Chain A
Amino acid sequence: MLDLIFITVFLSFPEFVLDLMIGLSLCNIKVSLKKILLVAFIQAFVAFFVWKIHIPFGLHNIIQKLICWIIVIIILEIKFYKAIVPVLIGYFLDSIIQGIFISSAGLFIELDFNRLGVEFGYTLIYSLCIFIILSIILLIVKKTNFHFCDLSAEGEFIGEQK
């Protein structure tokens, strides 16, 4: 088993940062990078303990996202019914990309999902690819200023694109 601390610091933490940045950007919520880093850091810390106590796969995702929601409410000071949206959008995009990546990469190489988190090289390449794709998405979202919905204090209308 790979070192959990290594995974948390070098793989999960950047992924959480990107998830949050994409989720918040798509909801037109502007937050300082410091706060996002703090939320991602706490979330990575929580993820570390969730993995440590061996919660069944699937359930750990739900627990992590619930905790992330609470952290976002507290640190980013967003109303509870608004805070859930960027968290879920971030997770949704991340999962979709991972799902597409696994299925499409599986066409070219022998890909075994269970080897993730076990073999160092395997995990690193996988995480790096996901990191690059998420970064490109973030860049596109920022450049085009596209909003899936406007949850800023001024905007109340869902489905609006500015």
Chain B
Amino acid sequence: MQLSDFLPQITIDDVQGWFIYDPKAPILFNTPLFLGLFLVFYGIYILTRNTFRLRLVYVIMFSLFFYYKSSGIYFLLLLLSSVVDYTLSYFLYREERSLQKKVYLWFSVIVNLTFLGYFKYTTFILDGANALLGADYTFNRVLLPVGISFYTFQSISYIIEVYRKEITPAKNYIDYLFFVSFFPQLVAGPIVRAKDFIPQIYAKLQLTKEDVNYALFLIIGGLIKKTVISDYISINFVDRVFDSPNSYTAFENLMAAYGYTIQIYCDFSGYSDMAIGVALLLGFKLPTNFRTPYKSASITEFWRRWHISLSTWLKDFLYISVGGNRHGSFAGFLFPGLFFCGLIIWGINFSHVSNIPLFLSIGGLVVFALSFLLSKDKERTMFTNVNLFTTMLLGGLWHGASMLFIIWGALHGLALAVHKLFNEIFPTKKDAQPTFLGGVWKVISILITFHFVAFCWILFRSRDFPTAIDLITNISHVTFDPNQWQTIILGYKNVFILMAIGYIWHLMPEGFSKGLKEAFFLTPLVLKAIVLGFIFWLVYAAASAGPQPFIYFQF
């Protein structure tokens, strides 16, 4: 046996492929290419650890290369927007007059949102216009640069924080570019806040054993969640059912909804964990993005545990900006107003076919109105709820250009408002003794919250409205039939095992995760490397698994 037996065979074409953008294979943390590139990058990074500017420039170069590998020529867009934002923030910081400051701020925000709007929403707006006006404007499909939603928000956070004097701005353009382009969180978050990150640039670079352990622990968990659980159940089950719900039994439809619920968590939080882990290996601490959100006992709690970097961003920069819980603003009322108007027009349009849409739209409006009319402090609660609703609507739209995302946001906004009212009527005591009934109530609350969230995910995932309605209709036809269920579960054994692992892992008490972490910390260095190598193999072997053949059930 020779060393070459272990090493992969490499051709010139392969080497070219490493450095040239391939739209079909954008770089991701869970690809072998990233692993190889990172090893080389990391070695040199460590050698430059005691330099400052050199190290920053080096990381920027790698980040831009990384972005080029995932989005091609659009890395120029990242450069362009960073130049504009840095320049504006530079003048903003040195400006004393309030009007001028506002102009700088708005100009920057508008530029950022224009980039985002152009790339993300052009097709959506044109489609909408075409449908409304009966026209047929076609437009070349605008390709979406990867991660634009994330770095745009990051840039906006920087300029607003400079405006609010919450941070001292980056000392020069290089430092700013380092913040915006930092590759671990560039493509899929977490959305790092300038006030958390900028100070780290200027601090002495440190990396303790603790940090490395935690980073590896996160990377391992992230890899399993993303590549093994999420990718496998999506391609072998969830995608198929969402592609054509009516070809599947009611039970399979229900399981696809549960499957997607764990899939999106594993996918998103897994990738976030990897990003946080990789950043930590470089000595940078990024904020936690997910804290086992499906354990939440209320929708309010869910949003404190789901995609935390986005929800805090929305709270600080959107919710507060439109008035927060203190006052109303034009923008705050505009979006809910437009939304409910549109909803009712839609309902009226359909009234000749069915009254259900009209009932739903009026019902939605009534529930929303009641959520503050029943409150003691009506005016203030109204401001809060309207602003919250605006935040959730736009938050929904941020996820993608589709009515379904907006409705998804609206449902969450409505639920938050209703939960606020519920809390006002049945206040929870802060330091109540844990009782049995209290425990039962908590479990019920968790189940309700979970199912509400899972229901909303159906809208989030479906290709279009008819698909979502098919899926929901099919789920309503589920009957208790253990034999049928057993046959289906055995038919998709691997999928259901992975789903179960995903949920059990998620619902384990925090102590379990802590124990695991401590055990990992105590293993010797070589063993850690072997565990990591084993996980890499697992990722590779899972990625090699072919799609499961189609199974047709007949009951």
Q: Do A and B bind each other?
A: no
Which residues of B pack against A, CB within 8 Å?
Answer: none
Give A contacts to B, CB under 8 Å: none
